[in-house]
Amino acid sequence: MSTEQAPAADPYFPRHGDPRYRTHRYELALDYRPGPNRLAASARIAAIAGPEPLREFTLDLAGFRIGKVLVDGKPAQYAHRDGKLRVKPAKAPAAGAVFTCEVHWSGNPRPVRSPWGGLGFEEITDGALVASQPTGAPSWFPCNDRPADKASYQLTVTTASPYAVVTGGRLLSRTTRSSATTWVYEQPAPTASYLVGLALAPLRQVPLTERAPGTVPQSGWVPQPLVARFEHDFARQPQMMRLFEELFGPYPFDGYTVAVVDEDLDVPVEAQGMATFGRNHVDGRRGWERLVAHELAHQWFGNSVTVADWRHIWLNEGLAKYAEWLWSERTGGPTAQRRAADAHQQLRALPQDLAIGDPGKRHMFDDRVYERGGLTVHALRCALGDAEFFRLLRDWATAYRHAVVTTADFAAHAARYTDRPLGPLFDAWLHRGALPALPTPTAPPERSGAAAEPRPGVLGGMGREAVRRFLKDRGT
């Protein structure tokens, strides 16, 4: 866990979440009809009260009709307005006690409003998808909507049989009765509410890996007309997975699923154990492969290791951006140093008035957070040298697996890998607006991505020509 306690409320979204308790598990059962966009659902939420008796608590939920609310099996008083479901149990759970809350709701799900447009559950031409970052989860289920509150999930979705239901986690069963099919998924790993993804559309499953020992199961769910392009554009994802496991440590979940919807999306959407891409990201030329790398890297950085609150978003995006550069470097493309120089040139042309270590709610998705975040990671690599830098990355993803973290945690972790003070580096890159000089290695770097103890048989120990031969031999 983070060495710094998560704040009582997220400073960017103080109305979201309730710090008086923490959730342990959600069991969601949804019956969704795509035509009329009609949802009837229930949630059973297991939670733990905080240090005081829980005489009342809140869940975040958009404007649905509430059927009933039970706490520990007994009807509870409740009020539902302005996106908050306020619950008063018949008997208050004692301090530190485990309790359950059951909610039944129905209505027409739609995105919730935000400064970035609609977030959460959204109808598409034929089906629906969920893109919740940062506060869209209440658009479709009641939750304690704060990134630091992570829980396991079971998701049961019943819908018309022509539609596939895709989410993160392991598919436990798929049962068809008459014209409806029920899909049951289990995600045992701790998951933030914004990272519960969903794609519901007429899609065909496309395997990306064989389930050999030691292989992370990977597959795609794709519209039939896009299958050939998908198989080309995502063919190198298994090699990408092997490289990232070498650099960042074992993949933190049971498997990884990519959904492609028959819609144009501005950007792909990461979720726990899955990512959703638009049809515009599948061009048959691998024109968007950097985004394939970016979304996969988020499984380590953002999903398994999750920010305690949104001030620290650079940790998610900077490390995922740097993973793009590492993939480029390790597969014969421009080096990370070249990518860093390009990013630096781009940032020099933009206003230098944003401290990405706490960018503010308005700017948390600013391109400067992503590019300067990647440059911060590169500056750290240049300062430490490759051996210690890649050991730091791997240890970070392993030590904080399924935990929540802050920038202070990352700085303290990095300090263990050098005798030189890193405070000035983090201060210049994260906490000041002026752009520092382009970081350059103090000595010729080892070939990118070398871990402290590279394992044989993976990309982590290969030079560029060997990587080219490795990919060519596998027809990719």
Q: What is the pLDDT of residue 214?
A: 72
Q: What is the pLDDT of residue 443?
A: 52
Pairing label, strands 306-307, 404-405: parallel
Inform me whether the pLDDT recorded for 330 exceeds 60: yes
Q: What is the pLDDT of residue 461?
A: 32
Q: What is the pLDDT of residue 313?
A: 98
The pLDDT tens digits of the residues spanning 101-150 come to 999 999 999 999 999 999 999 999 999 999 999 999 999 999 999 999 99
Question: Average per-residue pLDDT in the chain?
Answer: 92
Inform me whether the pLDDT recorded for 454 exceeds 90: no
**pLDDT-based confidence at 209, cuts 50/70/90?**
confident
CB atoms inside a 10 Å sphere around CB 177: 9
Q: What is the pLDDT of residue 458?
A: 30
- Mean pLDDT over 322-350 rounds to 98
The pLDDT tens digits of the residues spanning 425-447 come to 999 999 999 999 999 987 544 44
Please check whether the domain covering 9-200 is classified as CATH 2.60.40.1730.
yes
**pLDDT-based confidence at 27, cuts 50/70/90?**
very high
Inform me whether the pLDDT recorded for 154 exceeds 80: yes
CA distance 328 to 302: 21
**pLDDT-based confidence at 452, cuts 50/70/90?**
very low
The residue with greater pLDDT, 209 or 47, is 47
**pLDDT-based confidence at 215, cuts 50/70/90?**
confident
CA distance 308 to 356: 16
Backbone angles phi, psi at 413, to 5 degrees: -65, -45
- Mean pLDDT over 84-92 rounds to 98
**pLDDT-based confidence at 213, cuts 50/70/90?**
low
Q: What is the pLDDT of residue 462?
A: 32
The residue with greater pLDDT, 96 or 452, is 96
Q: What is the pLDDT of residue 232?
A: 97
The pLDDT tens digits of the residues spanning 306-326 come to 999 999 999 999 999 999 999
- Domain ranges, ordered by start, for the chain: 9-200, 308-473
The pLDDT tens digits of the residues spanning 286-298 come to 999 999 999 999 9
Least confident of 3-7, 43-47, 137-141, 256-260: 3-7
- Rounded to two decimals, the pTM is 0.91
Torsion angle of C-alpha atoms 293, 294, 296, 300, degrees rounded to 10 = 130
- Mean pLDDT over 63-67 rounds to 97
Sign of CA pseudo-dihedral 133, 139, 145, 151: negative
Q: What is the pLDDT of residue 451?
A: 36
- Mean pLDDT over 35-45 rounds to 98
- Mean pLDDT over 404-409 rounds to 98
- Mean pLDDT over 240-266 rounds to 97
CA distance 469 to 232: 18
Q: Is 211 exposed, middle or buried (0-12, 13-18, 19+ CB in 10 A)?
A: exposed
Under CATH, to which class is 308-473 assigned? mainly alpha
Inform me whether the pLDDT recorded for 385 exceeds 70: yes
Q: What is the pLDDT of residue 211?
A: 61
Inform me whether the pLDDT recorded for 36 exceeds 80: yes
- Mean pLDDT over 210-222 rounds to 83
Q: What percent of the chain has pLDDT over 90?
A: 89
Q: What is the pLDDT of residue 134?
A: 97
- Mean pLDDT over 180-204 rounds to 98
- Mean pLDDT over 361-376 rounds to 98
Q: What is the pLDDT of residue 80?
A: 98
Q: What is the pLDDT of residue 469?
A: 36
